[in-house]
Amino acid sequence: MALIRRGAVLAGLIVVAAFGLSACGSSGDSSSTSSGSASTTGSSTSSTSSTSNTASKTADVWVFDDVGGAGTGNQSPIEGAVAAAKSVNAANGIPGYQLVIKRCSTKTDTNVARTCGQQAVADKKAIAVISLSQIGAPVYDPILTQGKLSLIADYGGGDDATSPISFPLDSTVFQTMGALGYAYNNYHMKKIYMVLGDFGTVSDQFVALADGIMKTSTGGVGLIGNTKIPPTATDVSPYVQKALNAHPDAIVAALFESTFISFYRAYKQAGGTAPVFCHGCGGTIAGLGKLANGVMPILTATPATTKSPAVTQYLADLDKYAPKRAGIADASSVAFGWSAVKLLETALKGSQTVDRAATLKKLGELNNASAGLYAPFTTTEPFTGLGGKLPRVFNTTAIIGEAKDGKIYAKTPFFDWYKDQKK
């Protein structure tokens, strides 16, 4: 997705992600994997993982995404989750247990999303859900909460922030808007305009939240305006013109991948020169190639171009265990899926029992743990910048990146959006 990822308030906005299946109800497209492998009834690849000789039990991890609906992206965290599970299993990372990745795609249909939640809760071996499903969050969140099944997702400001089962790996809307505040304060981008998907009331809520968060770090200055693009729009030129007429210093795009590509191409063709921010647009950057040069992705994980042990391991795991496809290393959703499984490994290390109760307890005890490519995150301090308390905002760091020739490079070091917003 080329958009800002998620939260119930974003329900319907986003699919950053990149985005197989046993059937998720009669209308869902779900995929079940074995020992970290991806086995699908769709067109995806099938593979088997390396397994540990000492593992005698299995634990299921479900992956939700919004692939399959109108105007959505084509990415999912599944590739990253499968690669990480195979790597963890091969190294006996959770002694006595093999992780099995299962997938349910909502097709941006809330009824299918409800079935996804019900199916995961009914799975007695399920220990957690990893989700980048934006549309389905309002319906599956309560189901997972009732089933006491841990949820690892992005957090955009919805009720998943206060749920006892919710563990956001990154807090997307806050980080993205905090990064816009950073750009306002450090890059003199005083007029920032938003282009987002049109999903009715939820989009209005998203704009209000984004505007409020940005104001907390700019001394009260928010977005200068916004325009909403229907996900089924075939002509985006009117929306491009609205953005150009605002004469912005920068644009932030919260769009599904396909719509982002259409908007960005039309924007460049119309002579647009203001930089474009996006979050979770790794797959889109790779697809646009040189045309994306100058796009500024807002990152919560170190980009694949970074030289570090975590990135080296990530790329090695993808090369060994993930399906081969162009741009996979720069797709933020893939990194998210990989990091979410590594977070589970971190939490369950040394646990004698691996079930949903133990997983929920162990995740709740984490504090300042690293998760795959992600910087250390915090679980204990609530966000109060908008006047209320929103606990479980995990990752408080972000990087502003820059696209170059289809890859993403860090333009800034990690900065703490939370501390910036508390000024």
Tens of pLDDT, residue by residue over 81-111, are 999 999 999 999 998 999 999 999 988 788 9
pLDDT in tens, 126-141: 999 999 876 788 889 8
How distant, in Å, are the alpha carbons of 121, 170, 238 from that of 21?
17, 26, 38
Strands 192-197 and 150-154: unpaired
pLDDT of residue 200: 82
pLDDT tier for residue 73 given thresholds of 50, 70 and 90: low
Whole-angstrom distance, CA of residue 308 vs CA of residue 255: 30
pLDDT tier for residue 393 given thresholds of 50, 70 and 90: low
Q: Of 32-46, 91-105, 271-285, which gets the smallest average pLDDT?
A: 32-46
Element at 129 (helix H, strand E):
strand 126-131
pLDDT of residue 201: 81
pLDDT of residue 327: 62
pLDDT of residue 230: 92
pLDDT of residue 72: 60
Q: Is the pLDDT of residue 249 over 50?
A: yes
Q: Which pTM value belongs to this model? A: 0.81
pLDDT of residue 402: 93
pLDDT of residue 48: 34
The tokens for 197 are 């998907």
Element at 138 (helix H, strand E):
helix 137-146
pLDDT of residue 381: 63
**197, 231 contact by CB (below 8 A):** yes
Whole-angstrom distance, CA of residue 254 vs CA of residue 205: 13
Q: Of 73-77, 149-153, 215-219, 259-263, which gets the smallest average pLDDT?
A: 73-77
The tokens for 327 are 């741009």
Q: Is the pLDDT of residue 180 over 70?
A: yes
pLDDT of residue 417: 72
pLDDT of residue 110: 85
Q: Is the pLDDT of residue 51 over 70?
A: no
Whole-angstrom distance, CA of residue 364 vs CA of residue 361: 5
**Max mean pLDDT range (12-21, 155-164, 403-412):** 403-412
Span between the terminal Cα atoms of the chain, in Å: 31
pLDDT of residue 420: 61
Q: Which domains does the chain have, with CATH numbers?
A: 8-171+307-396 (3.40.50.2300), 174-304+399-421 (3.40.50.2300)
Listed in sequence order, the residues at least 6 apart from 158 whose beta carbon sits closer than 8 Å to its beta carbon are 6, 7, 8, 9, 10, 11, 137, 138, 141
Whole-angstrom distance, CA of residue 312 vs CA of residue 421: 32
C-alpha dihedral sign at 327, 375, 177, 4: positive
The tokens for 95 are 């002694």
